[in-house]
């Protein structure tokens, strides 16, 4: 059994969700640990059945002990540099601030990098995906298709969600989802289609009961939906499913300048415009396993 740890969670929903299996393993192996992170963290951990653990805001600096830095920034490592042991992945010029610097692996999925941090400390890592009772949690046929069209990062926002909804709404009910502060933007995309907006993460997970498939940009919501036990299909443009993806993927094929995780394309391109609504609709129908065609 490990001594209690100070665990710094990532600040973004997708990264924090990918880190949950590793953080859960550490919390179970080191009772009395404290997790430090953003305000949404309580809802995330509650929604995914995380063991009882003390939570502190990201602004709080632990007084001592072993620090486990899932947040990959230089600033986080600098603020925790007084701790006697500091474990994390190298990168962002912070290797010298870690007592246990773990090498980055270029082709490694981000969740596997997080798992290596826990394994370095001897903690077991188990999948984060929540099990639902029966198909999509309903005990019967899934009832609707969920669409997540928004992201604060313009380079990952696929523009075809409204056309996709129009193509499929006669085959299966379509519901758009919007996170806090996103309702106006999502309603403008959704048009006449229904929107569920502003849900706290545990309520978001509950609202996905009966969801046949969650179709999304490469976003935190996609990772959360997958971890909540819902089948996920992600539309990727410049981002690489092998590095940051979850669930199944639709891509426009390789591009010479990718993968890229910039918030703004320096070339003024839009990789996502290469992906048609018809091609995503075909992928949706394939993943529904004939459900749409039978209705």
What pLDDT is stored for residue 238 in this prediction?
82
Chain centre to alpha carbon of residue 9: 13
Q: Residues near 63 by Cβ (< 8 Å), separated by ≥ 6?
A: none
Residue 146 tokens read as: 């969920």
DSSP three-state, residue 75: helix
pLDDT reported for residue 171: 93
- Residue 9 to residue 23: CA distance in whole angstroms: 8
Pull the structure tokens for residue 43: 């809802």
d(CA 230, CA 270): 29
Residue of 221, 214, 257 whose CA lies nearest to 237: 257
Phi, psi of 60 (to 5 degrees): -80, 135
**Which segments of 38-143 are extended strands (E)?**
54-57, 66-69, 85-89, 100-102
What does the pLDDT profile of the chain (295 residues) look like in tens digits? 789 999 999 999 999 999 999 999 999 999 999 999 999 999 999 999 888 899 999 999 999 999 999 999 999 999 999 999 999 999 889 999 999 999 989 889 999 999 999 999 999 887 656 666 544 444 455 689 999 999 888 888 999 999 999 999 999 999 999 998 999 999 999 999 999 999 999 999 999 999 999 999 999 999 999 999 999 999 998 888 988 899 999 987 777 666 777 777 766 667 788 899 999 999 999 998 854 444 4
Domains and CATH numbers, the chain: 5-120 (3.40.50.2000), 139-294 (3.40.50.2000)
Of 244, 245, 242, the residue nearest 233 (C-alpha): 245
């Amino acid at each position: 059994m490990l001594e209690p740890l100070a665990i710094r969670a990532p600040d973004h929903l997708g990264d924090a969700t990918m880190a949950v299996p590793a953080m859960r393993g550490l919390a179970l192996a080191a009772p009395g640990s404290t997790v430090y992170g953003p305000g949404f963290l309580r809802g995330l951990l509650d929604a995914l059945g995380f063991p009882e653990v003390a939570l502190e805001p990201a602004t709080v600096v632990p007084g001592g002990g072993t620090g486990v830095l899932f947040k990959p920034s230089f600033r986080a490592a600098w603020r925790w540099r007084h701790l006697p042991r500091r474990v994390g992945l190298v990168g962002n010029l912070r290797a010298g601030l870690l007592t246990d610097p773990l090498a980055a692996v270029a082709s490694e999925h981000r969740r596997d990098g997080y798992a290596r941090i826990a394994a370095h400390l001897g903690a077991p890592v188990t999948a984060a995906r929540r099990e639902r009772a029966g198909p999509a949690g309903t005990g019967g046929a899934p009832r609707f298709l969920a669409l997540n069209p928004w992201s604060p990062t313009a380079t990952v926002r696929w523009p075809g969600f409204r056309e996709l909804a129009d193509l499929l709404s006669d085959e299966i009910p379509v519901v758009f989802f919007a996170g806090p502060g996103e309702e106006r933007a999502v309603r403008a995309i959704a048009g006449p289609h229904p929107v569920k907006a502003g849900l706290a993460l545990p309520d978001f997970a509950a609202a996905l009961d009966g969801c046949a498939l969650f179709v999304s940009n490469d976003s935190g919501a996609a990772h959360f939906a997958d971890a909540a036990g819902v089948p996920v299909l992600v539309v990727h443009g410049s981002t690489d499913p092998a590095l940051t993806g979850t669930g199944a993927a639709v891509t426009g094929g390789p591009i010479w300048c990718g993968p890229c995780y910039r918030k703004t394309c320096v070339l003024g391109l839009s990789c996502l415009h290469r992906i048609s609504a018809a091609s995503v609709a075909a992928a949706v129908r394939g993943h529904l396993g004939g459900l749409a065609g039978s209705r």
